[in-house]
């Protein structure tokens, strides 16, 4: 999501780097590219026109701040306007007033209403609320069964609807039953419908009149792009929607719906679905999304994910072990599993400021998928006995050979993982101890050997450098991330030839002195 838009905007900002001031000519040329980028992202053309006009006025009417380049000034202006375009501030659910509060889900068929209802219920329970799920879709086959299955998966109460019941009566009875069961919020999953279907649209209006929901959330598939905005506009005219839930935001949608929907309908995006799991729902933060679009990352979301995934006690115990250099393979396996819960490596790197370029280099430098390399690393650790995981010093030649067979890898790959692990442990001890840290030297690799996940001639066996500030990723991921190309002056073929030439010159000079 937003990847193509982000790439296009990055190239626009680069065009300002050589400029010393912001003038009519370079601003016009840059904003022409911004307009094209937004239109290609399927943003509403009226919204694009207003956005470009506002940015132009800001650029030409503002003096460049002292110590800030014109390119940085443009990024700052575009960032501010993007935040406004996306809704300005984070818009939370308004569930004040009657108890239980009522949330009504509405939208087209197949947009993801049922799954989103369960995801929101799961989110509200984490907020110390008591949700009550109500399947009110009596038209789609197995729609009621789907929500019942999801409710049971979450161990959450639900209303026992049947297909022969009237949706308006279901809503009325469900609210009363929820009140009796001391639920604090009722979530109504209504039937999907076309916005041109007057009969079904009237049914939604009747449900609204019967239970007076505090929130009417329009669920839109982000993959439908601009059409989702047009449909939302129709639903808003009929019902007065209070918020939007965008689903499938983890796909390759261009982002036009998210960027247009607030300006066109006046309703803010409140949640976004980032995957199929019931936990993969995020609150929509306009400032954070703007940061992702402009390649600034989103470290706050990453920290929140880490806090949800990693327990405080485990993090403190891990810090103590790293400080004392008693961190073992058992601990490392736990951290690998914690990283998996955070999401894919690619999604994590997107959230870390400044690592957008690294993602591209990783994709170019390695043919292996990082998740597969993480799985291979975990397989090696799983093949160890409990004693070997707790005491890596036991790993002699015969044990390593057995581990390699059990994990389906070579002995060299096991050796490399063990070496990297020891380097990481020394590095983390230095970092946690607060003293000066000496970078560990690279191990001597057999001639012709290519580390797993790399192409011949590329790679540094240490993998990706450590990220001590990130919970769950102590000292990087040895063997888990595809290695980066060596910097100039590293152990490349050219540098080795240069070293040999210098050595030969020194020998010749020594002989001449003896003569």
Residue 480 confidence (pLDDT): 39
Rounded distance between C-alpha atoms, residue 158 and residue 512, angstroms: 93
Q: What is the pLDDT of residues 148-162, one digit of tens each?
A: 999 999 999 999 998
- Per-residue b or e along 5-21, where b marks 16 or more CB atoms closer than 10 Å to that residue's CB: bbebbbebbeebeebee
Task: Tell whether the model's pLDDT for residue 145 goes beyond 80.
Answer: yes
Distance between CA atoms of 296 and 303, rounded to whole angstroms? Answer: 15
Q: pLDDT: is 255 or 58 the higher one? A: 58
- The tokens 């900002």 sit on which residue? 13
> Quick one: pLDDT at residue 54?
87
Closest by CA to 132, choosing from 111, 108, 99, 156, is: 156
Which tens digit of pLDDT belongs to each residue from 91-112?
A: 888 888 788 999 999 888 888 8
Each residue's pLDDT tens digit, 261-272 = 788 778 888 998
How confident is the model at residue 198, as a pLDDT?
81
| Coil, helix or strand at residue 192 | coil
Q: Give the lowest-confidence range in 27-31, 219-223, 447-451.
A: 447-451
281 φ/ψ angles, rounded to the nearest 5 degrees: -130, 130
State residue 254's pLDDT score.
63
The DSSP 8-state label assigned to residue 438 in this structure reads: P
Burial 441-474 (b: 16+ CB within 10 A, else e): eeeebeeeeebbbbbeebbbbbbbebbbebbbbb
Give the mean pLDDT of 452-456: 41
DSSP secondary structure string for all residues of 203-218: HHHHHHHHH--SEEEE
- The neighbouring-strand residues paired with 187 are 103, 133
Rounding to the nearest 10 degrees, give the CA dihedral for residues 141, 143, 149, 155.
Answer: -160
Q: Which residues contact 162 (CB under 8 A, 6 or more apart)?
A: 138, 144
Cβ–Cβ under 8 Å, residues 123 and 165: no
**Better-scored residue on pLDDT, 381 or 491:** 381
Question: How many degrees, rounded to 5, is the angle at CA 32 between CA 27 and CA 36?
Answer: 145
Mean pLDDT, the chain, rounded, equals 75
43-56 tens-digit pLDDT: 878 888 888 888 88
CB 368 within 8 A of CB 482: yes
| pLDDT in the model for residue 124 | 93
From residue 12, alpha-carbon distances to 26, 224, 258, 296, 452 in Å are 11, 27, 21, 15, 37
pLDDT of residue 18: 64
Residue 57: predicted pLDDT: 83
Average the pLDDT over 59-82 and give the result.
73
Q: What pLDDT, on a 0 to 100 scale, did the predictor assign at position 452?
A: 41
Choose the weakest-confidence range: 2-16, 115-129, 350-364.
350-364
> According to the model, what pLDDT value does residue 472 have?
39
pTM of the model: 0.63
456/470 Cα distance (integer angstroms): 31
Q: Which of 342, 333, 347, 355 is nearest to 465 (CA)?
A: 355
Listed in sequence order, the residues at least 6 apart from 417 whose beta carbon sits closer than 8 Å to its beta carbon are 377, 380, 478, 479
Region 280-286: what's the mean pLDDT?
Answer: 86
187: closest CA among 240, 117, 126?
Answer: 117
pLDDT confidence of residue 129: 92
Q: In 3D, which of 130, 218, 140, 207 has the Cα closest to residue 170? A: 207
User: CA–CA separation, 157 vs 179, rounded Å?
Assistant: 12
SS in 3 state form for 110-155? CCCHHHHHHHHHHHHHHCCCCEEEEECCCCCCCHHHHHHHHHHHCC
């Amino acid at each position: 999501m937003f990847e193509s838009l982000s790439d296009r905007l990055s190239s626009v900002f680069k065009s300002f780097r050589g400029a010393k001031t912001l003038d009519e000519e370079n601003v016009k040329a840059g904003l022409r590219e911004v307009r094209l980028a937004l239109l290609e992202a399927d943003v509403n053309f009226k919204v694009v026109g207003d956005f470009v006009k506002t940015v132009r006025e800001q650029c030409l009417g503002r003096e460049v701040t002292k110590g800030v380049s014109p390119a940085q000034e443009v990024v700052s202006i575009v960032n501010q306007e993007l935040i406004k375009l996306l809704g300005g501030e984070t818009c939370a659910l308004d569930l004040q007033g009657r108890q239980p509060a009522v949330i009504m889900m509405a939208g087209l068929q197949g947009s993801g209403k049922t799954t989103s209802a369960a995801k929101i219920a799961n989110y509200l329970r984490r907020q110390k609320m008591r949700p009550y799920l109500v399947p009110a879709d009596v038209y789609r086959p197995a729609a009621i069964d789907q929500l019942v299955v999801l409710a049971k998966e979450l161990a959450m109460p639900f209303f026992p609807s049947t297909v022969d019941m009237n949706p308006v009566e279901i809503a009325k009875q469900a609210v009363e039953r929820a009140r009796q069961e001391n639920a604090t919020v009722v979530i109504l999953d209504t039937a999907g419908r076309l916005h041109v279907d007057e009969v079904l649209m009237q049914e939604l209006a009747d449900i609204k009149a019967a239970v007076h929901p505090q929130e009417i959330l329009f669920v839109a598939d982000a993959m439908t792009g601009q059409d989702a905005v047009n449909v939302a506009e129709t639903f808003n005219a009929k019902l007065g929607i209070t918020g939007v839930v965008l689903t499938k935001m983890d796909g390759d949608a261009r982002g036009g719906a998210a960027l247009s929907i607030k300006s066109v309908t006046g309703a803010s995006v409140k949640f976004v679905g980032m995957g199929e799991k019931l936990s993969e729902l995020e609150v929509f933060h306009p400032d954070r999304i703007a940061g992702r679009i402009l390649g600034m990352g989103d470290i706050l979301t990453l920290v929140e994910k880490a806090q949800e995934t990693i327990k405080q006690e485990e993090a403190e115990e891990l810090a103590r072990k790293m400080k004392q250099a008693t961190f073992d393979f058992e601990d490392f396996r736990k951290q690998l599993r914690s990283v998996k819960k955070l999401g894919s490596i690619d999604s994590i790197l997107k959230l870390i400021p400044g690592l957008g370029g690294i993602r591209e280099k990783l994709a170019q430098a390695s043919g292996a998928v990082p998740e597969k390399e993480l799985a291979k690393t975990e397989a090696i650790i799983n093949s160890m006995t409990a004693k070997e995981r707790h005491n890596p010093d036991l790993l002699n030649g015969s044990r390593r050979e057995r581990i390699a067979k059990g994990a389906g890898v070579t002995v060299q790959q096991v050796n490399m993982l063990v070496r990297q692990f020891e380097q990481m442990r020394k590095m983390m001890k230095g970092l946690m101890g607060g003293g000066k840290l000496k970078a560990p030297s690279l191990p001597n690799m057999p001639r012709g050997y290519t580390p797993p996940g790399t192409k011949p001639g590329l790679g540094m066996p240490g993998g990706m450098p450590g990220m001590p500030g990130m919970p769950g990723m102590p000292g990087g991921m040895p063997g888990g991330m595809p290695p980066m190309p060596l910097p100039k002056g590293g152990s490349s073929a050219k540098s080795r030839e240069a070293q040999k030439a210098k050595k030969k010159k020194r020998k010749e000079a020594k002989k001449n002195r003896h003569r």
